[in-house]
Structures are given as C-alpha cells and as structure tokens.
Chain A
C-alpha cells in the first residue's frame, strides 16, 4: 500500500517549488492547479506542471496533481494536459456525487487510451469539502475502482456549513469519522485536511495525532516545515511497534505450524488485528524506527 502520511501542496505556478518538491521528504506531493493558483495564472500553471511532469525526476515520491473541477472552465483542459503524462493520482476538488467521479473517470479513460497511458493507471482521490459531498460518501467511494483514497477539505467544508473552524476541531469530529468509515467501506485510505497555521507546530502535531487516532492515514500539508511534525504524529509508539511485531511473529509462526487459531497472551488474533499490526510496522519502517525483534516464546 502506498504510504501517504503527508501530501505536500505545491503551487503549480511556482517553478522553483515545482523543481524542488521532492526534496522535503513528503510521502506524496500535490502539484496544485486549483486553489493555489489565481484565475489569471491557470494556463501558466497548467503548462508549468505539465512540463514539470515531463522533465523533473521526483524520485520515489508519489506525484499527484490537484486539477480544477470539471464543472469549472479550467477542469477539462487540466485533464487533457495532465493525464497523458501519467501522474499517479488526480485529486478531485469539490467532489460531491458519484457522478463527479464518473465524469472524471470517463475522461481519464479516454485520455489514457488516446495517449498510450496504461488503462486504469491514473487513480483518483476525491476531496470532500461540502455538506452535499459529505452526504454521498458511500456512493462516492464505491463509484470507481480508480478511487485510491478519500480526502477531507476542512476549510471549505466549515465555510459551507457555516460552522466556525476552531483549533480544537470538535465541529469536524463527526464528518472526519464518517470519512474514515466511508474509506473503509472501499478498503481505501482516509486523508485529512491541511492545518493552516504554519507557525503553530504544537497545534499541528495535536491535530495530526488526533486524526490518526480517528483512523486517518495521513494529512495534507502546505509547508515543508509541517512534514516532519505530521510524520512524528503518524509514527507509532515503541509499545505499539513492539506489540505489532509480536502479533506478526505469532501469525507467521502459526502459518509454519499450520495452526488455525492464533492467540497472543491469551487473546485471539484475527485478521483485523493482523492487518492493523502490519500497518503499524509499515508506518514504523517509513519513519525509520526499526522493528524491535522479539525473541519468540
């Protein structure tokens, strides 16, 4: 599974930032054609991002592009220029219905075929940022096999709701939980919104830690400085890693012994526990925290 603890937004009209987007250590980068780019700059950004995808090596970082919605005058051209360069993912802003995904899917399919990009290779991450979108979560996640994750956009969502965006974020607990639940229906990732105050490291850590406990797999960031903080929040504790290591060791041993039922410390270990343990270990490895080798009982 692709690790997406952090998705770093890069304004599509900034050549220097496009050039260096991969060096900050984010798991995924979002070359942005949408809200970071003013209307007057839309075409310039589209050309820059297209050329960046053509010529810049982003190494092992996942490259995604936030295109404009197909219901804006810029969306279609964004797709036409970007899809032929086979980015891993298009992020679909202001996604509200299954139909929004299907329209994107159809267009991507045509463009893939036309430009020789392997069919189905460009994935989609819908961004949920309205009450209407929030009301259609199960339909949206099930609408297409291209949907790779569900992304929450808190700023627009609270604006749409008329709610106040507070630091504690209680007003968002419900929608966040629903996004995680919907993502799980389709077995995909749930990714949280940005944290706007780049100077508040503590606030960012708290929010990231909280959403991780809600079940999110990662969080968008708008400044490179936020990356290490979010990664820290998404790094499992030593205790978690140790337990996960023992779970996996037990299940592997059971496989060798061809034993059906596995227990650890008198507790049944079933598939979800194992899946969770594997996820913890993957996160730990990504964070450079080494797996603690347990001596087997």
Chain B
C-alpha cells in the first residue's frame, strides 16, 4: 500500500496494469514521445521563427517539411530557409509536398550548403536545377498518397514541419479558410502535422482561441509563430479558372465526355475527379451537360476542387465534394460555408496504406500527361526535352484507384509528339491507364476489352495506340532523343514505395 500526491491510498498492483505511476501534482508528469511535450505553462506563441526552430532543437542534416497550399504565393518556405541559413544550419533535407517557381530561392540555399537534398515535388526552376545536376542526392518524387505512406512507414522521417497557417490560434488550431492568405483546404498538411517530431505553425492571422473552424488541431502543433505575411493572395488561389477556348482542346474535352457517357459508368452514384487544367475543366462541363440531360444524380467529386465543382454540387448534380486542395476563390469560399464540401487529408484521399482511401471509390479520373507511350505508361514529370518540371500530384494514385482512368493530351505539342514509343519517364504504369484521348483519336488499353466494346459505334475515332503513335510520328518525324548523363537526379517512387523509374541528369 502507498499513497499518491493527494493522499489517496493506492494498491501495490492493479490487475491488468503491469506498472502504474501514482499521481503526484498537477502539471508535474513526465514528458515523452507519447505525452504532450510542452510544459503546460509555456506559451506556444513565440516571437520569431528562429526561436521556434531553436525550441524545436533544429540541427544540421534534419528533414524539414512544408505544404504547398499557398502555391506560387507561398512566402513561408523562403522565409524559413533564410532563418535557418542565418542560424548557420547546414545539410537540410527539404520535404515539401511541392515547390513552385517562387521557391527558386531554394537554389541559393543549396549553393550555400544550407540545403542538401529534396524529397518532394518540384515544379519549374528548382526542377530544372535538379535536372542539371545541382544536387548531390537525387530528389525523391512521391505522389500525394505516396508521401503520406512514406511518412507512415518511417521512410520519410520529418524532424520539423513548418506549416503555413492562414489562421491559427494561440494553441495551434489551424484553418485554411480564413485570413488574408486563405487557401481553402489544408489537405496536404495533415500528414506533416501528424508525423513530424516538431510542428511549427506560421501565421499572419492569429485569431482568439479557439479558432473556429479549425482543420489541424492543437493536439498536433508545438509552436505558433505570428509573422506579417505568409502569402501573396494574388498567387495563392486563382480568381476564376478559365475553361479552354482552344478549339483543339475542346475537341479532346468533348471526346472525353463521350467516352465517359459511353463507358457505362455515368449513372446515379457517379463519382469523378478531373482537375483544373483547361481540357479537364471543359470535359467536366460537357459531362455536366450530359448529367443534366439524363438527370443523373452523382455521388462525389474529389481531389483539387474548383468553382466549377462547387457549381455542380450546388446544382444538385453531386452529393459531396472531397477537397484535398482548393484551386480557386469559389472553392475556398464554398469549403468555408457548405457542409457537403468536405476537407480531406492526403491520406484520406490517396494513401494506399490507409484503411481506405477515396481514390478507390472513384468511377472516372481524367488526368493529363506530358507523354504517353504505346504501353499506356504515362509521364507527367519530365518534358519532351527530358527536364524535370512537374510533380506527380495524385496522378498515379487516382489512376490506380479509378474504375476508368482517362488520359487527355493533344497528340502534338508544338513540334513534339505526345504519344510515343517509350516515355522518357514512367510516372504512372500503363496497367492502371484505360483510355488515351487526343484530338486525332481515342485509344483504349487492350486489357479493357469491355470498355472498347462500350465505346464502339459512339462516334469516336477508336485507334490502336500504335496507330496513334504512328500518326503523330508521320507529322513530326522522330525527334532526336535528349541526351542524358549517368548521374541519377530524380527517383520516381510508386505509391507503394517501389521505385518505378529514375531520372538522369540532362546534358
């Protein structure tokens, strides 16, 4: 028998508990990995980012993660790197969900030794520098779902997550729907908050406690740093995304709608993901007309959400929007007000190691490509000149999950053929791709004989993918292949963690 801190008599042992610890005094319990690590009385709100990094015990060689919901308007990545570089920190691994052209500043920090490697999507100038061989280590490219899986598996081990927070309160409840840098969904930041050892929220909109509503809860956040600005609103969300007016792309979009209509999938309960590209938006519009005409009541639209998806929800064509990323102002506003417009995490969306993800419930995914080959393999990472310019996004995730994956691409871009014998980089394996739609014809993966039967006699120009490739070649000729060196500059990791391809240095 023994007594605890307030004099209650406790037994020596309690059945079912191997060990137990008597209560001592409020606030005196030990800290540890599974216990709230911040002593209760120490405020989370800190004066500056440097202090937060110091509290988070930043060291050389650590892995620092960021989300990309502020897209090209993000000021936080550059801000954090400037602070870290000023602190003399070296050899960091950056684990952003994606980098944008605004992050070309990263290159300066690579040259100075602050940053050593990147595990995450790279768009634009950073990608180009990767291709030129700036980094010692290859950049690891993962899909949205794959990134969470890697964190979950401990393959991507994040030391400090720096989370740009459009709104946050003093305890670290974070929301993306309000504040001067509102971005809507914070879908990609959930995994960072869950798996990083230390989580720093950086906000330009510190709101009274509790932040209502919040997305990321205070239970996951260690520190809150108010700053003047985290983003440039002009660059965060688009005003209104434009549906393409290019007649060639409209031809493609119209055929996509015809494919969807004829596939047998366009019926009550229909679900789709189409993205914000010009062709995809136009295709969604054509699908919308057909749903209206046939009075079809769809189930959900998932992925990156646009004002167009919002209109379809409000029109009653769909029951719900599952939003991992809000592309425009209308989407961000709708997320804030409409209960049928739900924010979802990247794991909920696309993680193959989660106990269920949305992509597996999708009927149709309409996805882009920089190249497709005669095995239906799709490249979305490198351009025809072999330069790494794009991230994976949810491409391989949705392709794997959806009942029908439709790849849209003009057959020619400028002088380059887009349907080729072999893609320069495989992002998404052909076995998960069902249909390729170009302005000059539609090719169905021969493993989908059922689909081919459904599409016959529907006014589509159905071609063997090899004929499509030959038709492209007959116009462009065979372009000279870009020259690559031996050095591996990029690794494309499949959503299950397997390496699906490597990208070599562009000479």
A223 to B475, CA, bound (A): 23
Q: Which residue of A lies closest to B439 (CB)?
A: A23
Assess whether B33 is interfacial by the CB under 8 Å rule. Answer: no
Q: Which residue of A lies closest to B474 (CB)?
A: A57
Assess whether A20 is interfacial by the CB under 8 Å rule. Answer: yes
Assess whether B416 is interfacial by the CB under 8 Å rule. Answer: no
User: B residues 230-265 with Cβ under 8 Å of A?
Assistant: 247-248, 250-251, 254
Assess whether A288 is interfacial by the CB under 8 Å rule. Answer: yes
Interface string of A258-297 (1 = CB under 8 A from B): 0000000000000000000000000000001000000000
Assess whether B339 is interfacial by the CB under 8 Å rule. Answer: no
Counting chain A CB atoms within 10 Å of each CB, the highest count among B247, B440, B474 belongs to B247
A223 to B459, CA, bound (A): 21
Interface string of A2-26 (1 = CB under 8 A from B): 0000000000000000011001110
In the assembled complex, which residues on chain B have CB atoms less than 8 Å from the CB atom of A223? Answer: 247
In the assembled complex, which residues on chain A have CB atoms less than 8 Å from the CB atom of B254? Answer: 228
In the assembled complex, which residues on chain A have CB atoms less than 8 Å from the CB atom of B474? Answer: 57
CB distance from B451 to the nearest CB of A (A): 20
In the assembled complex, which residues on chain B have CB atoms less than 8 Å from the CB atom of A225? Answer: 247, 250
Q: Are A288 and B459 in contact (CB under 8 A)?
A: yes
Assess whether A224 is interfacial by the CB under 8 Å rule. Answer: yes
A225 to B251, CA, bound (A): 9
Partner of B251, one of A19, A24, A56, A288: A24
Q: Are A23 and B251 in contact (CB under 8 A)?
A: yes
Interface string of A45-78 (1 = CB under 8 A from B): 0000000000011000000000000000000000
Q: Are B475 and A19 in contact (CB under 8 A)?
A: yes
A228 to B474, CA, bound (A): 28
A228 to B475, CA, bound (A): 26
Partner of A224, one of B247, B412, B459, B475: B247
Q: Are A23 and B440 in contact (CB under 8 A)?
A: yes
A25 to B460, CA, bound (A): 11
Q: Are A23 and B459 in contact (CB under 8 A)?
A: no
A106 to B251, CA, bound (A): 40
A25 to B247, CA, bound (A): 11
CB distance from B447 to the nearest CB of A (A): 27
Q: Are A224 and B250 in contact (CB under 8 A)?
A: yes
Q: Which residue of B lies closest to A226 (CB)?
A: B247
Residues of B within 8 A of A (CB-CB), count: 11
In the assembled complex, which residues on chain A have CB atoms less than 8 Å from the CB atom of B251? Answer: 23-25, 224
Q: Are B459 and A20 in contact (CB under 8 A)?
A: no
| Range for the number of chain A residues in contact with chain B | 10 to 19
User: A residues 211-229 with Cβ under 8 Å of B?
Assistant: 223-225, 228
In the assembled complex, which residues on chain B have CB atoms less than 8 Å from the CB atom of A23? Answer: 248, 251, 439-440
Interface string of B252-290 (1 = CB under 8 A from A): 001000000000000000000000000000000000000
A19 to B472, CA, bound (A): 11
A180 to B251, CA, bound (A): 32
CB distance from A223 to the nearest CB of B (A): 7
A25 to B459, CA, bound (A): 11
In the assembled complex, which residues on chain A have CB atoms less than 8 Å from the CB atom of B439? Answer: 20, 23
CB distance from B392 to the nearest CB of A (A): 30
A61 to B402, CA, bound (A): 36
A144 to B315, CA, bound (A): 58
In the assembled complex, which residues on chain B have CB atoms less than 8 Å from the CB atom of A25? Answer: 251
Q: Given A57-B474, A288-B459, is A20 in contact with B248 using a C-beta cutoff of 8 Å?
A: yes
A23 to B440, CA, bound (A): 6
CB distance from A132 to the nearest CB of B (A): 36
A228 to B254, CA, bound (A): 11
A218 to B412, CA, bound (A): 31
A24 to B246, CA, bound (A): 11
A23 to B460, CA, bound (A): 12
Q: Which residue of A lies closest to B440 (CB)?
A: A23
A65 to B321, CA, bound (A): 50
CB distance from A229 to the nearest CB of B (A): 13
Interface string of A141-156 (1 = CB under 8 A from B): 0000000000000000
CB distance from B248 to the nearest CB of A (A): 6
User: B residues 397-450 with Cβ under 8 Å of A?
Assistant: 412, 439-440
User: A residues 22-37 with Cβ under 8 Å of B?
Assistant: 23-25
Q: Which residue of B lies closest to A57 (CB)?
A: B474
CB distance from A22 to the nearest CB of B (A): 8
In the assembled complex, which residues on chain A have CB atoms less than 8 Å from the CB atom of B247? Answer: 24, 223-225
In the assembled complex, which residues on chain B have CB atoms less than 8 Å from the CB atom of A288? Answer: 459
In the assembled complex, which residues on chain B have CB atoms less than 8 Å from the CB atom of A57? Answer: 474
In the assembled complex, which residues on chain B have CB atoms less than 8 Å from the CB atom of A24? Answer: 247, 251
A57 to B474, CA, bound (A): 9
In the assembled complex, which residues on chain B have CB atoms less than 8 Å from the CB atom of A56? Answer: 475
Q: Which residue of B lies closest to A20 (CB)?
A: B248
CB distance from B472 to the nearest CB of A (A): 12
CB distance from A197 to the nearest CB of B (A): 15
A288 to B247, CA, bound (A): 21
Counting chain B CB atoms within 10 Å of each CB, the highest count among A20, A223, A228 belongs to A20
CB distance from A234 to the nearest CB of B (A): 16
A19 to B414, CA, bound (A): 11
CB distance from A230 to the nearest CB of B (A): 14
A288 to B258, CA, bound (A): 13
Q: Which residue of B lies closest to A22 (CB)?
A: B440
A284 to B216, CA, bound (A): 58
In the assembled complex, which residues on chain B have CB atoms less than 8 Å from the CB atom of A224? Answer: 247-248, 250-251
A223 to B247, CA, bound (A): 8
Q: Which residue of A lies closest to B248 (CB)?
A: A20
In the assembled complex, which residues on chain B have CB atoms less than 8 Å from the CB atom of A20? Answer: 248, 439
A225 to B475, CA, bound (A): 24
CB distance from A91 to the nearest CB of B (A): 22
CB distance from B443 to the nearest CB of A (A): 15
A57 to B475, CA, bound (A): 9
Q: Which residue of A lies closest to B246 (CB)?
A: A224
Interface string of A225-242 (1 = CB under 8 A from B): 100100000000000000
In the assembled complex, which residues on chain A have CB atoms less than 8 Å from the CB atom of B412? Answer: 19
CB distance from A205 to the nearest CB of B (A): 16
CB distance from B409 to the nearest CB of A (A): 14
Q: Which residue of A lies closest to B458 (CB)?
A: A288
CB distance from A99 to the nearest CB of B (A): 39
Q: Which residue of A lies closest to B438 (CB)?
A: A23
Interface string of B374-415 (1 = CB under 8 A from A): 000000000000000000000000000000000000001000
In the assembled complex, which residues on chain A have CB atoms less than 8 Å from the CB atom of B248? Answer: 20, 23, 224
A-B contact pairs, 19 of them (CB 8 A): A19-B412, A19-B475, A20-B248, A20-B439, A23-B248, A23-B251, A23-B439, A23-B440, A24-B251, A25-B251, A56-B475, A57-B474, A223-B247, A224-B247, A224-B248, A224-B251, A225-B247, A225-B250, A288-B459
Identify 10 new A-B residue pairs, CB closer than 8 A, beyond the known A223-B247, A224-B247, A228-B254. Answer: A19-B412, A20-B248, A20-B439, A23-B439, A24-B247, A24-B251, A56-B475, A224-B248, A224-B250, A288-B459
Q: Which 4 A-B pairs have CB atoms at the shortest separation, nearest pair first?
A: A224-B247, A23-B439, A288-B459, A23-B440
Chain A interface residues (CB < 8 Å from chain B):
19-20, 23-25, 56-57, 223-225, 228, 288
Chain B interface residues (CB < 8 Å from chain A):
247-248, 250-251, 254, 412, 439-440, 459, 474-475
